[in-house]
Structure 1
Amino acid sequence: MDLSAHHYGVTVSDLDRAVAFYRDTLGLDVLDRFSVGGNAFATGVGIEGAAAEFAHLDADGTRLELVSYDPAGSDQTGGGVNRPGAKHLGFEVTDIDAFHRDLSDDVSTVSEPQTTESGTTILFLRDPEGNLVEILEP
């Protein structure tokens, strides 16, 4: 069996808003948008009557899948990166200070860029759904 990564998925409540953030703020290209429903899908995801809208974006060769479900589940975005089960997406930039300066005022950041003991500079921000996104400069 040859296992390879296909995509990294993030469930969102407002697909258009999430796509706009990842496209406009982070510069990812939208590869595809589509919807899926039907009994096989609902059975496969274990949610009775489920249907979903999807957007696939290209993150430098890594596929990011944003998905909005109907019916929507309960909010699970609270807490920080240290909470068991927490998730975050990581993106590398060549100039984190310039990236930080260019962020629009409505983007919520956890702090200013910080250089860690390992020498990597990190910046955590939140997407419109409250999901943590790490920007790093090695």
Structure 2
Amino acid sequence: MPGRLHHVSLTCASLTASLAFYRQFGFAIEQQYQDEACSIVLLHNQNTRIELFVFSDDVTPQDHETLIYLKAIGIRHLAIEVSNLTTMHDLLSPTTTVTSIKQARLGSFNYFFCYDPDGNQIEVLETNKR
């Protein structure tokens, strides 16, 4: 029985900040839930979903590692495809750390890395048109 990735879940310090960040990529709220312990918001954009958790008790973002540190075992980053990489780079530059735009070693896309409001590494990419 084949499977597919349904969503990625992120625990956030601020729902407001995370919603504002991911809305820049076209994500919209699909579902919401809230009780005394947490708030959950499921975002969608085309066939991609991101689930944001915010807990009532304090959650502290982890210390930032160097961007593009890929050698650690485990999930290292989310990749979000956009239609205009330069425009997104310019949009994000004033609000978060961004790397320069580079061509992927695989050659089929260009990319840069940035942080979301909670320090998660986000790869922003545009596929090369052929």
TM-score band w.r.t. shorter chain: 0.7 to 0.9
Q: Does residue 66 of structure 2 align to residue 66 of structure 1?
A: no
Q: Deviations over 1:82-129 (max 9, x none)?
A: 2333431111123212221233511321x1111123222111111111
Q: Is the 8 A contact 2:13 2:61 kept in 1?
A: no
> What is the CA RMSD across the aligned residues, in angstroms?
2.2
The residue aligned with 2:77 is 88
**In structure 2, distance between residues paired with 1:86 and 1:2:** 22
**TM-score between the two structures when normalised by the length of structure 1:** 0.74
Q: Does residue 10 of structure 2 align to residue 5 of structure 1?
A: no
**In structure 1, distance between residues paired with 2:10 and 2:63:** 11
Q: Provide structure 2 residue ranges, at least 5 long, that are not aligned to the other structure.
A: none
Q: Which has the larger radius of gyration?
A: 1
Displaced runs of 4 or more, over 4 A: none
In structure 2, the CA distance between the partners of 1:56 and 1:118, relative to structure 1 (3 Å rule), is same
The residue aligned with 1:33 is 32
**In structure 1, distance between residues paired with 2:100 and 2:42:** 29
Q: Provide structure 1 residue ranges, at least 5 long, that are not aligned to the other structure.
A: 38-50
**In structure 1, distance between residues paired with 2:63 and 2:96:** 16
Q: Which amino acid aligns with 2:102?
A: Q
Q: Is the 8 A contact 1:13 1:129 kept in 2?
A: yes
Match of 1:137 among 103, 126, 130: 126
* Larger helix fraction of residues: 1
How do residues 113-132 of structure 1 correspond to structure 2 at under 5 angstroms? 113-119=101-107, 120-132=109-121
Identity of matched residues, %:
28
**TM-score between the two structures when normalised by the length of structure 2:** 0.78
- CA apart distance, 1:4: 3.9
